[in-house]
Amino acid sequence: MTVSFEVKRIQETANLERAQRNIPEPSGGTFAEFLGPDKLVPLDGRIAQVSNKLGDETASPYQQAQIIYEYVVGVMSYDKSGKGWGRGDAIYACDVRRGNCTDFHSLFIALARARGIPARFTIGFPIGQARSGEVPGYHCWAEFYAGGEWVPIDASEAWKNPARHEYYFGHLDAARVAFTMGRDLALTPRQQGEPLNYLIYPYVEVDGKPLPKESIKSHFEYADVSR
């Protein structure tokens, strides 16, 4: 199966002046899924303990999110050694303090939601600087809601590129393509297997049973078609 997309990539920039307004955060409705726990993103126990120690609860949601961002970038290391990384397990990230982009942003989302700040997870593909090439893997990032504005952050890229530390709080470069949003996903039509932790690579069921990931081969590439 081959799937092709033609997309226009642009830098994403939040209205930070608007986001800094200290107004009440939404508490439910359409924001419920961005405030509650996911299977690997709990909001109680260890997460609640750490979140409660970060900053001043009287600060604006934007200021609290900025404190959480600084904490995640400061304590985490981009390190894919050993086992457990890459699942977006907030407890693993909180305790082991290393992992890849899924771990960085699962920790950020957990700590933000534990303070009542809506936050969401997006995963996609990084695009290189060349006009064409292969996509080596996925990349993910997060957004939080403050002052009526969704504000993007990329904590793992900030860790890898200290010179752009401030940039990645409120901005996303165009060297990426978003693919899906959310965790614990139910597909349409509904898969018979368990909800998906996140969706970036092909998911296949045979006779109602998930096909092992190692049985599915995939290849991703991009090319600049601008004129």
Q: What averages of pLDDT result for each successive group of 10 residues across the chain (227 residues)?
A: 92 96 90 97 97 89 97 98 96 98 98 97 92 94 97 98 98 96 96 96 93 93 88
pLDDT score of 55: 80
Neighbours of 106 (CB within 10 A): 28
Q: Which CATH class is domain 12-181?
A: alpha beta
pLDDT score of 53: 94
| Nearest-angstrom CA–CA distance, 195 and 206 | 16
pLDDT score of 6: 93
pLDDT score of 28: 87
Name the pTM for this structure.
Answer: 0.96
Long-range contacts of range 29-35, CB-CB < 8 Å, 24 or more positions apart?
31/118, 31/145, 33/120, 33/182, 34/113, 34/118, 34/119, 34/120, 34/145, 35/113, 35/116, 35/118
Domain boundaries, the chain: 12-181
pLDDT score of 110: 98
pLDDT score of 123: 98
DSSP 8-state code for residue 164 = G
Cα–Cα–Cα angle for 182, 37, 123, rounded to 5 degrees: 20
